[in-house]
Amino acid sequence: MSPALPSVAVVGGSLGGLTAALVLADLGCDVRVLERSGSALEGRGAGIVALDDTLRWVAERSDVDPETLCSTTSRVRFVDPGGATVHEREHHNRFSSWNTIYRAMLADFEARAPDRYGLGREVTAIAGDADGAVLTEASGATSRADLVVAADGIASPTRAALLPGVAPRYAGYVAWRGTVPESELPEPVFAELADAITYQVLPGSHVLVYPIPGPSGSVVRGERLTNFVWYRNVAAGPAFDDVMTGVDGQVRPVSLPPGAMRPEQVSAFRSDVRALLAPVIAEAVLAVAEPFVQAVHDIEVPRMAFGRVCLAGDAAFAVRPHAGAGTAKAAADGWELAAQLTAHPGDVDAALAAWERTQLAMGRALLARCREIGDSSQFTGTFTPGDPALSFGLRGPGR
């Protein structure tokens, strides 16, 4: 008789949690997802780099064609403040949006495990023991699992309970972000941006623009969105609090969503766009109706496994976005967990120990690389157009 597979509770139903839930359910585990939100999750429409690990479930186990979830570009281009090209090369990139991939993966999970994606299920405590853990929810309900995968994000309550000395470290800069329908761009701007990821390097800063799927998931040219990200230094303290204070007067240290920015902040931002950005980039950014801002943080953990509870995705390592690998790392955590459970049949503890070794090494390497890229742009001035080290990748540039 084959060793019994563990029952699994996944805390957090975002992309990392969904990947873990899908691959573990496909392995044969009894899996349920506990998501604190009362409704299906929605991202803010911003773009993500669609690396192989991000799309692995769709590519290998789903009936969905991964190319239908991605916009593609064939060139990488850097422009100067006047808009002239200072570097250009052929390089294939795929981009998607959080919403597009989440919808596809959630549909797969609900088809494979009906009624196992629980909404409004906020986990407030996890008490581990030698054979598993008991989860307590805000409602007072309790349940037990042989294995708990805590994929509850950058503000992870699970990590805070297990590693109270670990907290997000502000990197010293924020990312202004936003999207605009390609159909709303002037034709010359659309033509110039449609098939490239376009960068501009500024003193202590850089901005990038690329196409992502449209609100309905369309990847047809002209029906997509143009996505921008502009990294800007903001000193910790009063300056940071000012940027992160929304129209409601509340300081949100992680992000302010579309529509939450104060009008005076948006006005000052747009003035800087006109003054500092290349015309083709400026036109796209100025067309964005509701820009928003995310603070850039690092998180590094010394451990990922605590008995039968493990930290995955941003709950363990939150990395700066410069390698385009945050969602890929979260997905890789789930795939590797399934691989180690397969390699250690019936021995969850041995599987977790082996999983922790590999994923700690991957997380540390990615974190170091993302810090190096970010610091080269924002602080040291060594972010160089055409540098192959800037290529997106989870395991290294282009990998």
Q: What is the pLDDT of residue 40?
A: 75
Work out the average pLDDT over 244-251: 96
Q: What is the pLDDT of residue 45?
A: 56
Work out the average pLDDT over 270-295: 97
Amino acid at 359: Q
**DSSP state letters, 366-385:** HHHHHHHHHHHHHTSS---T
How far is residue 63's CA from residue 256's CA, in Å, rounded to a whole number?
A: 36
DSSP state of 2: P
Work out the average pLDDT over 240-266: 95
Question: Tokens 């950005």, residue?
Answer: 277
pLDDT in tens, 201-224: 999 999 999 999 998 899 999 999
Confidence of residue 116 (pLDDT cuts 50, 70, 90): very high
Confidence of residue 398 (pLDDT cuts 50, 70, 90): confident
**What percentage of the chain carries pLDDT values higher than 90?**
93
Work out the average pLDDT over 365-390: 95
3-state secondary structure of 1: coil
Q: 7-63+99-167+298-378 belongs to which CATH class?
A: alpha beta
Strand partners, 90: 75
Domain ranges of the chain: 7-63+99-167+298-378, 74-94+170-297
Q: Does 44 have pLDDT greater than 70? A: no
Work out the average pLDDT over 190-196: 96
Confidence of residue 2 (pLDDT cuts 50, 70, 90): low
How far is residue 399's CA from residue 396's CA, in Å, rounded to a whole number?
A: 5
Alpha helices, H only, the chain: 15-27, 52-61, 98-112, 157-162, 187-193, 238-243, 263-276, 279-286, 326-343, 348-378
Q: 74-94+170-297 belongs to which CATH class?
A: alpha beta
- Structure-block tokens of residue 16: 């990392």
E strands present in 65-218 = 71-79, 85-97, 117-118, 123-129, 132-137, 142-145, 147-150, 169-181, 196-202, 205-212
Q: What is the pLDDT of residue 1?
A: 41
Work out the average pLDDT over 136-162: 96
The pTM of the full predicted model, rounded to 2 decimals, is 0.94
Distant-in-sequence, close-in-space partners of 73: CB < 8 Å, separation ≥ 6: 92, 93, 95, 195, 196, 197, 210, 211
pLDDT in tens, 73-108: 999 999 999 999 999 999 999 999 988 999 999 999
Average pLDDT, the chain: 95
* Closest C-alpha among 192, 194, 199 to residue 212: 194
